[in-house]
Amino acid sequence: METVRQTRPTAPLICRLLVVDDDLIYGRLLSGLLARVPGIQVVGTARDLAGAKARIAEGNVDVVSIDVVLGHESGLDLLEWVKAYHPSVTTLLITGGENERARNDGQGVLLGAAALVRKPAIDAPQQLASMLTDAIRHVMFHRRYVSRQAVDQRPVQRPQDLVHTRAEVVVVGASTGGPPVVTRLLRDLPKAFDTPIVIVQHMLADMLPTFAAQLGDASARPVALSRDGEVLEPGRVYLAIGNVHTQLRRVGSGLALAIVDAPQVHSVRPAVDPLFESAAAACGAAVLGVVLTGIGSDGALGSAAIHKAGGRVIVQDLDSSVVWGMPGAVCAVDAAVAAVNPDELASTVAKMARGGHPSHSTTLKIPKLRDA
């Protein structure tokens, strides 16, 4: 492991970055290019797991860029270690190689990488440095934005005599940091839970089949990619396919998936809002929405539609979210009835899908911007 010396950046510090790459020359080139970016302070490079762990344990590291291939070692092992022992450190996974890419990318998102950056087809450190810079700025900006907000906590008001409609469907939206939480939700739900679940996870389209398979393996539930016209069946999980929107429509007394080739919403396809809005239109009060960690505000308008129709929406709480953009946006439009951590998520979903109330201990964290 070696330290990269540089002068203190004149721009406001975005992050202190550790570069992990087994190729000495490539790692030095990449580190040098990133060190010139205003706001990024490269604090060191490491070529193997031992060196990387030692440097992270020293502290003063905000972000680690991890190459999946580290000689005879795997960067995925480092990613798992960071999440277990240094969860405040943001991890960016660098992937490459067509044969192993889907498997590595799938494992990376399940382990909670904040972003996946693919090496350019042509060995180009300059292009990779630019891609990493964009990812760092994107993730760190939203983390800083949330941390600068004044957050009020208030108990959720739950009139105990109010009977809620049993959910006909559970719709889930997630983005950055979402795959591990989605996996845990499906895994922890009671085996007897049979309400259909439809999920939109912001993810590269070619990763979705692998993610669907991993969800099925981890949860022992039937998980399939969404198909146009497919009627929802009890106990099944449907993952929205890429490059189109997945919506719901009423078919007789049941619900069916509708694949809609429409423009991007919030710069993504599939997006959460089209699914949630269609669920509200098709089901009225008989829908339960779940919005998990993610950058941006996708899901807020759809959650408002569910709330207006009489349905309910749960969000992931601030403390457990990688980025509290999407859940925070739902709270900001006053559309959430509960904010929970992953430990409580499955039990809360199971209870509320039956028409019950969330736990008395559940609190909402409502973001309010500080006065400038």
DSSP, residue by residue, 334-366:
T--SEEE-HHHHHHHHHHHHTT-PPPTT-EEEE
Catalytic option among 142, 164, 202, 307: 202
Please state the φ and ψ torsions of residue 101, each to the nearest 5 degrees: -60, -50
Closest Cα partner for 216 from 231, 203, 197, 202? Answer: 197
Catalytic option among 62, 67, 105, 175: 175
**Residue tagged 């890429």 (tokens):** 242
* 201 touches 182 (CB < 8 A): yes
Classified as helix, coil or strand, 45 is strand
Active site residue 175: yes
* 110 touches 98 (CB < 8 A): no
The two tokens of residue 99 are: 């044969």
Catalytic option among 62, 67, 105, 298: 298
Task: Tell me how far apart the alpha carbons of residues 352 and 339 are, in angstroms, rounded to a whole number.
Answer: 13
Give ∠ CA 320-17-7 in degrees, rounded to 5. Answer: 140
Classified as helix, coil or strand, 241 is coil
Closest Cα partner for 11 from 39, 34, 40, 32? Answer: 39
Active site residue 202: yes
Strand partners, 151: 367
The two tokens of residue 185 are: 């939700």
Strand partners, 200: 173
Catalytic site positions? 175, 202, 298
